[in-house]
Amino acid sequence: MFRGKQTRVLLLNNMEKLERTLFRLEQGFELQLRLGPTLQGKSVHVHINYPAPGKKFVSSSFHQLEWVNPSGREDDSDKYCKLDLEIAGSYQYYFGNEERTGGGYIVVDPVLRIGHERKILPLDCITVQTYLAKCLGPLDEWLDRLRVAKETGYNMIHFTPLQKLGASRSCYSIADQLELNPDFSSPGKNYTWMDVGNLTEKLKKEWSMLCITDVVYNHTAANSKWIRLHPECGYNLVNSPYLKPAWLLDRALWHFSCAVADGKYSDSGLPPIIENDKRITVSLEGLLWTDVFSQLKLWEFLQVNVEKHVEQFRKVLQAGECFNNGPKSIQECCDWFKMSLEELNAECYKEMHSHHEKGISCIVGTVCYERLASHGPQLGPVTRTNPLVTRYFTFPFEDMTMEQDNQLMQNPNDACHLLAHNGWVMADDPLRNFADPGCNVYLRRELVCWGDGVKLRYGDKPEDCPYLWAHMKKYTEITAKHFSGVRLDNCHSTPLHVAEYMLAVARQHRPDLYVVAELFTGSEELDNIFMTRLGITSLIREAMSAGDSHEEGRLVYRFGGEPVGSFVQPNLRPLVPSVAHAMFLDVTHDNKCPIQVRSVFDALASTAIVSMACCASGSTRGYDELVPQQISVVKEERLYPKWNPDALPSSVGEVNLQTGIMAGKLALNKLHQELAEKGFTQVYVDQLDEDTVAVTRHCPSTHQSVLTVSRTAFKNLETHQYRAHLAPMYIPGKIEEVILEAHTAERKAESYVKDERFINGMPNYTVEIREHIQLKDSEIVKQGDAITEGRSEFVEEIFFEKLTPGSVIAFRVSLDPNSQKMVGYLRTQLSQFNRLYKSGSLIDSNVPGILMSKLTLAEMNVLLFLCDAEEQEDGGGCYNIPSWMPLKYGGLQGFVSVLSEIRPKNDLGHPFCDNLRQGDWMIDYVSSRLMNKGGALREVGKWFSAVFIYLKHIPRYLVPCYFDAIIVGAYATAVDAVFNQMSSFVQNGSTLVKQLALGSVQMCGVGRIPALPPLSPELEDVPVRLNSVTKQEEQCCISLAAGLPHFSTGIFRCWGRDTFIALRGLMLLTGRYLEARNIILAFAGTMRRGLIPNLLSQGVAARYNCRDAVWWWLQCIQDYCNIVPNGTDILMCPVSRMYPTDDSEAQPLGTVNDQPLYVVIQEAMQRHMQGVEFRERNAGPQIDHNMRDEGFNVEAKVNPETGFVYGGNRFNCGTWMDKMGESDKAHNRGVPATPRDGSAVEIVGLCKSAVRWLMTMNENGNFPYSSVTIHGDGTEQSVSYKEWNQRIQENFERFFYVSDDPADPNEQHPELVHKKCIYKDSYGASSLWSDYQLRPNFTIAMVVAPELFTVQRAWEALEIVEKKLLGPLGMKTLDPDDLVYCGIYDNGLDNDNYNYAKGFNYHQGPEWLWPVGYFLRAKLYFAKKMGQEKYNKSMYLVKNVLSRLYTHLERSPWKGLPELTNENGQYCPFSCETQAWSIATVLEALYDL
C-alpha cells in the first residue's frame, strides 16, 4: 500500500519543557521543528544529540540544526529545521538562544528483521513467549524445547538472564554478569556466549524468530564473587555511613527473630508458630518497642553531646576578644547555646521516634502478610531459615552477639562487606534512589526486600565507581552482541543515568535494539520519563490485571489501533504525544496462575482477546500447556517439555498441538501476525454481555474485517451459573469464512499430577479447533437472514448456538459486492487528490472530472464560502446539524473547518459524523447547492453529485471518512486554483500569506443583487451575467463585504471606508487588479459634494456622512497606480456619474456623460479646499433613528493656514470610530462616543499622502492639475498641490506632537496633556481634551505619510503605543489609563452607565485588529531608520504579533481575523468573526516584510 513520505511537525514554544511527553517516530520519517507563536521573530537555535551524518551517537554531544525558510521572507510561520530519522534510539533536543528555554525527547523505533531475506517484522506483529532460561536444560537440548514456540506461531523468544545464577537460584539474581550459566553445559562440554549467539542467529535466520533477554542493572547476587572483591560497588557502612542505624536495627531484629524461633517469647504471646490471632500483633508491637527499638537508642546517631560541645564553645569564647563583660556574659552565651542544643536533640529524638513508629508498623504488616494472610506466602513457623522479617543487609560472617555486631560496624575492613540488599518500595517515587542519604527507607523498614541480591551503587558517573561501570558495560556488550533486544528488569528502580549509558553502549553494537520494560510507576507521566530518556520501544502490559471481560476488552482498545472508520490522516501533520507501544501479555511470571484465579476454560478465550490487540502480544511458556500453578522464577527447577508431534497426552516431557490450548494459540498467533502485516489497524471492541467480548480489526485500504467473539470464563464453571442463551449478533458486511472456531474441551486422560522433572500441564484438557470453514458448517453459530438496511447496509444475522464459556469464533468479513464496487469507484476519484487511494480503485467512465481551474475567484467565493446571511439572500442557508449547530459557511470551508477539528482526534462520535451516518442530508446539500448556482459551479456540482452516489451506497460507518476525503481533496484543489489566479506575492508566500489571501475570496463576491452601482458602458472587461428574473444582461462586479456575518448582505454589506481600507491588502496585493479597478470606479461614480459614500447601498440610498472614506479611496487609487502594471491608465478610465449635481436624484446608467477618473479626483480635492458643508438628504429618524438633528449637518474643509482637513461636529462621527449612543436609560442616545471633530490625525496623514502623490503625478505628466481653486466673494484663489503639501509638512508636528518639554511654545493646553511624547489623536476638536487621548490612529499617518514625522519622536511615540495599546491580537482603541477606558464591548447591555450602555465604548478600549497592521508597518519603517539593533528587536515584535494572528487564523472556524476582541485578546461575541480590513492590513504588514 502506498504510504508516501511521512512528516511530523513539532512546534517549539518558549519555556515549554516536554521531557515528560512521549513522542514516538518511525525510521524514515522526517521531523520538522517549527517555531510556535511565543518564539516567532526571536533568534532561536535548536540543538539535538541525534548524530550528524557520519558521526556516532554520544548523548552529551549536541549539534545545531539549520533553519529552512521555504518562502524566504515575510514571517516565521513556515520556517523549520528538519531531521531525517534513520537511527533508532532516544534523542534529546533543546532550544533557545543564550540559554535553554525549552526541550524534550523524541524516540525513534527500531526496525526488526527476520529470516535470510531480512524481512521486516513490524512491532505490532510481535508474538513473544517468555522462557525461564534455567528450565531449558543443557544448551544442546534447547532447540527441542524452543521448537514449541516456533510450532505454536511465536516469532520472538524472551529469555530470562542466561548468566550464572546466585545462591537463591532466582532467575534474576545473577552471580556473574559475564559468565554463561554453567548449567547449560552438558558433561564434557563447555559452552560459551559464542554458542548462544550461534543459536540466536539460527533462530533468527532459519526460524524467523528473534531472541531478547533481560538485563539486570540494579542488583547482583549476594554471593557474587566480584562484589566481595569490590564492595565499593554496593551500599556498605563505609561508603554509606548514614545506613549504620538501619544496619544496627536489622541486626537487632535478627537477634529478636532468633529468640522468637527459640521460643523465648512464647510466654509473652509471641510463639514461633504465629497463628491468626489479633493478640499476636499487639504482643509483637509491644515487644518490638521494649526489646528492640528502645534498647538500641538509635536517636543518639542524630544527637550531639551537649556538655562536650558547650565546653568547646566556652573555650572559643574565652579565647576571643569580642566579650568585654567578663565571665557572666560568657556564661549567658553558653546557657543559651546549651538550651539550643537540647532543643535540637529533642527534635532529633522526635524524628527517630517517628521512624520507629513507621518501622514497627511495616514489620507488623509484613509478618501478617507473610504468616497469616490467605493470599500471602504463609511461611509457617519462625526459623533461622525463615526469620520473622527478611534481612536488609548481607552478613558474611559467623553469627555473633549484638555487642560484637557493634564492634564489627566500627572496623572499616569488615564494615565494607555489610551491604544493603535491593528491593522495592511501595508507592515510592521511582526517580528517587531509596538508598541515598535522607531516604530512611531501610531505617523505616519500608523496603520489600530481596534478600538474595545486593543493591548496586553506581554514583553519578563512571569515575564514581569505575569497576562497576566497566563490568556492567561488558555485560551489556555481550548481551547486545547476541540478542536482538533487551528487557529492562525493574526498570522503574534502575538509575536513569545508568540505564541511559548502558543502552547507548548496547545501541553502538546493535543500532536497532528492541527495548522492552515493565514500569510500575503508577503514572503515565512518570512512565514517559523512562520511555523518553531510555528510548523504550514497548511497555509490558498484563491482561491478568483485568478483573473481568469488560476490563480485558477495554485494555485491547487502549493499547493500540484507531477506531473503525477512522479518518485518513495527512502525511504532513503535527507531532502529537504518543501512548507507549504495548507488549500485551496474557500472563507474566509475576502473575498468579490464571487457572487458579479464573478457570481452565478461560485460557483460550482471554488469549484470543489479547491476540486481537493492535500491538505486540505474547505469553509465558506454560500458559498454553495449561500448567495449573504459577511457575516461580525462584523455586522452579523443572525442565520445559520438548516438542514431539507424535507425543501422547500422558507423555509429560513432550508436547504438541494436542497439548492444552496450543493448537488454538497457533491459529491466533498466525492471525495476529496477519492482521498487523496487512494493515488491519482499526479496532472496535463490543461487549456483547457480561462474559462475551467481540473485537473487530479493520483494514482501511481493503475494508476487510476480522471479527472475533470470545466468551470468557473468569469464574469456575462448576460453581458459577453462566447465561444459557446469547442474543443474536448483526455483522455488517458479507461473512467470507469462519477463520477459526475453537473451545476448550475435556478429554479422556489421567488427571493432572505435578511432575518432578518437567513443567507439565493438565493432560485432560485440549482445544477442539476447526479452521477456514464456511459459515454454514459452523458448529458454534447458525446463520440467520442477510438483511439490507437502506441502500448501503448489508448485515448478516448470527445466532450463537454453542458459544460455551471458553469458546472463540473468528469471522473474515468483507464489504458486500455492491459496496466493494462503490468503494472502488470512490477511490478512483480520490486518487486524483491522494495516491493512497490507488489501492482498490475501479474505473467508472461516467463520472466527469472536477474542473476547479475554470472557476473565477468570484465563483470560488460561492464554492468555498458564503455565510448564512449570504446563503439566505439566495434563498438557502448554511447546513444545520440539528443536534449541534449550523456550519459557519455554506461552501466547502464550512465543512473543512469542522473536519479539521474532528480528524486529528478521530472524533467519530461528533454530531457531524452522526449526521453523516444517519442520512444523506449533508451530502445532498453540498451537491444540490452548487447544481442550483449554474455555470461552472454547476459542473463542479455535477462532479460532487456523481461521487456522492458512490458514497451513499457504502456502509454508513465508512461515510464520515470518505466524505472527509472528498471534501478535503476538492477543497485543496480549489484553494490551489485560487492561488494560481493570484499574484506572485501570494503564490510564493508563506502559509500565513496564503491563508490571509483566502480572505480576499471570502470577502469578495457578487450576490443575488450586485452591491455596486453600474459602471460606464464604455469601460472594457466588465463582467456580466443574465439576470434570472428579467432575463436581461446585467453587470456583476464583485463587492467587498465589510465583515462576516454582520456586514455581508443588503445595504450593510458595502461601506466606502471599509472597502478602501481593505482594498490594497485584499485585492491589489493579491493581484485582483481588474476587480479592484471596478470597485474604485464604481465608488467614483457615486461621488457627491466631493465625498464618496459611507454606506453605499448600491449608490441610490447612499449616506455621505463620513469625512475619511474619500481619502481612503484616494489612497487606493495611488496604491493602484503604484502596484498595478501600467496602473496610471486607471486615471483615464470613464466614470459614469450617478449624481451629476449635488442635489440631483440618482440617474440611470448612460444618461449622464462620462468623466475620466482624474477629473473626479480633482473634484474631490477642489471641493475640500473650497469647503464641504451640507445637511444630509432626508435627514431625520427615517435614515438614522439615533442621531440628533445637529448630527445630520456634514462639514469637511481645509484650514488654509495649516493645510489640515477638518470638519464634523460634536453630534456626528465622521471617522472610523463612529459609535453613536443608543441608550435612553443611560441618556447617551444621539451622542457620539468619539466624534473626533476637528482634524483627525489619520485623515491629515491620508490628505498629505494624496496631495504629495498628485503633486508628483503632475510633475511627471500623469495628472493634468497642479492646483485647486477657491471661489468666494467673486474672487478666485489658486492653491498649488506643492504649496498645500508644504503647509501640512510644516505644521504637522507643530500642532500634533505632544512634547515632553513643559515650555514648548506650540503647546497651547499643557494642562490637558496626559501622555507625553505622543501624537495627538486630533487637532481642534470641540472637546479639547479629546485631542490629547492616546489612540492608535497616528500610526496610520506614519505609514501613509512618514515624511511628516521626526524619526526619534516617531520611535518614542511608537514605543508608548506598543506598551500601552498593543494587545495579543489587536490595538486598544483608547489608553487604558484614560478615565473612560473600558475594554469589554457588550452591545446588548442597556443600563444607566453612560460610558458602557448599548456598546457606547465600541472604540473606547476594545482591541481592534485592523490598526495592528499599520502599527507593525510603522514600527518596521522607523526601526530601519533607528539602526540594526532596533530593527532586529522590531522584527521580533512584528513576527511575534503575526504568529499570534496566525494561531487565531488557524483555529478559527471562520478562517479569518475578527473585527475586534475584548481587552487582553478575550473573545467578543458582538464582533464580526472575520473582518475584511483586519485581514487586509495584516497582509500589508507581511508585504512590507
Q: What is the pLDDT of residues 888-939, one digit of tens each?
A: 999 999 999 999 999 999 999 999 999 999 999 999 999 999 999 988 999 9
Q: Please give the average per-residue pLDDT across 267-283, as a whole number.
A: 85
**By the 8 A CB rule, do 870 and 990 touch?**
no
Residue type, 1336: P
Q: pLDDT value at position 1035? A: 92
Q: pLDDT value at position 1149? A: 80
Q: Please give the average per-residue pLDDT across 1198-1205, as a whole number.
A: 97
Among candidate residues 262, 429, 590, 1377, the one labeled active-site is: 590
SS3 of the chain: helix, strand, coil, percent, to 5: 40, 20, 45
- Least confident among 371-380, 696-705, 1100-1109, 1404-1413: 371-380
d(CA 81, CA 9) in angstroms, rounded, equals 10
Residue type, 248: L
Q: Does residue 166 surpass a pLDDT of 80? A: yes
Q: pLDDT value at position 322? A: 59
Q: For 731-752, what is each residue's pLDDT tens digit?
A: 999 999 999 999 999 999 889 9
Q: Please give the average per-residue pLDDT across 1094-1109, as a whole number.
A: 90
Is 375 labeled as catalytic in the residue annotation?
Answer: no
Q: For 1426-1458, what is each residue's pLDDT tens digit?
A: 999 999 999 989 999 999 999 999 999 999 999
* Residues contacting 450, CB < 8 A, separation 6+: 170, 173, 219, 421, 422, 423
- Least confident among 36-50, 910-924, 1110-1124, 1183-1197: 36-50
Q: For 1283-1324, what is each residue's pLDDT tens digit?
A: 999 999 999 999 999 999 988 999 989 999 999 999 999 999
Q: pLDDT value at position 780? A: 96
For residue 1061, give the nearest of 1096, 1011, 1013, 1113 by alpha carbon: 1113
Q: Please give the average per-residue pLDDT across 1184-1191, as a whole number.
A: 94
d(CA 1346, CA 1334) in angstroms, rounded, equals 19
Q: pLDDT value at position 535? A: 97
Cβ atoms within 10 A of the Cβ of 1319, count? 28
Q: pLDDT value at position 1150? A: 76
Is 63 labeled as catalytic in the residue annotation?
Answer: no
CA quadruple 1085, 1087, 1093, 1098: dihedral sign: negative
As a whole number of Å, the end-to-end CA separation of the chain is: 44
d(CA 454, CA 441) in angstroms, rounded, equals 15
Q: For 332-352, what is each residue's pLDDT tens digit?
A: 999 999 999 999 999 999 999
Cβ atoms within 10 A of the Cβ of 291, count? 16
Q: Does residue 259 surpass a pLDDT of 90? A: yes
Q: For 111-145, what is each residue's pLDDT tens digit?
A: 999 999 999 999 999 999 999 999 999 999 999 99
Q: Is residue 1271 within a helix (H) or strand (E), and if so which, with residue range?
A: strand 1267-1272
**By the 8 A CB rule, do 1102 and 1145 touch?**
no
Tally of residues, the chain: 1489
Q: Does residue 1275 surpass a pLDDT of 80? A: yes
Q: For 381-430, what is each residue's pLDDT tens digit?
A: 999 999 999 999 999 999 999 999 999 999 999 999 999 999 989 888 88
**By the 8 A CB rule, do 683 and 696 touch?**
yes
Return the DSSP state at 296. H
Q: Strand 163-165 vs strand 654-655: parallel, antiparallel, or unpaired?
A: unpaired
Own/partner contacts of 365-370, CB < 8 Å, gap of 24 or more, are 366/390, 366/445, 367/274, 367/281, 367/284, 368/281
**By the 8 A CB rule, do 1440 and 40 touch?**
yes
Q: Does residue 1052 surpass a pLDDT of 80? A: yes
* Residues contacting 777, CB < 8 A, separation 6+: 738, 770
For residue 710, give the nearest of 809, 593, 638 by alpha carbon: 809
Peptide bond into 1045 cis (omega under 30): yes
Residue type, 622: G
| Residue 523: band (very low, low, confident or very high) from pLDDT cuts 50, 70, 90 | confident
d(CA 741, CA 608) in angstroms, rounded, equals 11
- Least confident among 312-321, 626-635, 903-912, 1308-1317: 312-321
What global pTM score does this model have? Answer: 0.91
Q: Please give the average per-residue pLDDT across 1393-1404, as a whole number.
A: 97
Q: Cell numbers of 597, please?
A: 484465579
**By the 8 A CB rule, do 471 and 272 touch?**
no
Q: Does residue 1 surpass a pLDDT of 70? A: no
| Residue 842: band (very low, low, confident or very high) from pLDDT cuts 50, 70, 90 | confident
Return the DSSP state at 263. T
Q: Does residue 1099 surpass a pLDDT of 80? A: no
Q: Cell numbers of 1344, please?
A: 501613509
Q: For 536-558, what is each residue's pLDDT tens digit?
A: 999 999 999 999 999 999 999 99
Q: For 1013-1045, what is each residue's pLDDT tens digit?
A: 999 999 999 999 988 788 889 999 999 999 999
C-alpha distances in Å from residue 516, one per residue of 110, 584, 1102: 12, 11, 75
Q: For 747-793, what is each residue's pLDDT tens digit?
A: 998 899 999 999 999 999 999 999 999 999 999 999 988 777 766 67
For residue 826, give the nearest of 959, 938, 942, 916 by alpha carbon: 959
Q: For 440-450, what is each residue's pLDDT tens digit?
A: 999 999 999 99
Q: Please give the average per-residue pLDDT across 717-721, as a whole number.
A: 89
C-alpha distances in Å from residue 757, one per residue of 475, 653, 654, 713, 1082: 31, 8, 12, 31, 101
Q: pLDDT value at position 1152? A: 84
Q: Is residue 1360 within a helix (H) or strand (E), and if so which, with residue range?
A: helix 1351-1364
Q: pLDDT value at position 155? A: 98
Residue with cell 467508472: 844
Q: Please give the average per-residue pLDDT across 1165-1194, as a whole number.
A: 94
C-alpha distances in Å from residue 1097, one per residue of 436, 968, 1100: 81, 37, 6
| Alpha-carbon dihedral 910, 916, 919, 922, rounded to 10 degrees | 120
Q: pLDDT value at position 701? A: 92
On the 0-12 / 13-18 / 19+ scale of CB atoms within 10 A, 1201 is: exposed
- Least confident among 297-311, 655-669, 838-852, 1111-1125: 838-852
Q: Strand 793-800 vs strand 781-789: parallel, antiparallel, or unpaired?
A: antiparallel
Beta bridge partners of 740: 771, 810
Among candidate residues 489, 691, 816, 1386, the one labeled active-site is: 489
C-alpha distances in Å from residue 647, one per residue of 129, 627, 644, 748: 22, 17, 5, 15
81 three-class SS: strand
Instruction: Give how far the C-alpha of residue 542 lies from the chain's centroid of Cα atoms, to the nearest Å.
Output: 28
- Average pLDDT over the chain, rounded to whole? 94
On the 0-12 / 13-18 / 19+ scale of CB atoms within 10 A, 748 is: exposed
Q: pLDDT value at position 71? A: 76
DSSP structure string for 1125-1178: TTGGGGGGSEE--S-SSTTPPPPPTTSS--EEHHHHHHHHHHHHHH-EEEE-TT
For residue 754, give the nearest of 595, 647, 619, 643 by alpha carbon: 595
Alpha helices, DSSP H only, in 919-1044?
A: 921-931, 935-951, 959-980, 984-987, 991-1003
* Residues contacting 1154, CB < 8 A, separation 6+: 1016, 1018, 1134, 1135, 1136, 1137
Among candidate residues 356, 421, 482, 492, the one labeled active-site is: 492
Is 1119 labeled as catalytic in the residue annotation?
Answer: no
d(CA 964, CA 883) in angstroms, rounded, equals 20
d(CA 448, CA 443) in angstroms, rounded, equals 13
Residue with cell 511627471: 1260
Q: Please give the average per-residue pLDDT across 24-38, as a whole number.
A: 94
Q: Cell numbers of 1439, please?
A: 513576527
d(CA 348, CA 336) in angstroms, rounded, equals 19
On the 0-12 / 13-18 / 19+ scale of CB atoms within 10 A, 158 is: buried
Q: Is residue 794 within a helix (H) or strand (E), and if so which, with residue range?
A: strand 793-800
On the 0-12 / 13-18 / 19+ scale of CB atoms within 10 A, 1453 is: middle
1459 three-class SS: coil
Q: Cell numbers of 669, please?
A: 498467533
30 three-class SS: strand
d(CA 694, CA 706) in angstroms, rounded, equals 10
User: What distance separates the 2 farthest-apart alpha carbons in the chain?
Assistant: 135
| Residue 74: band (very low, low, confident or very high) from pLDDT cuts 50, 70, 90 | low
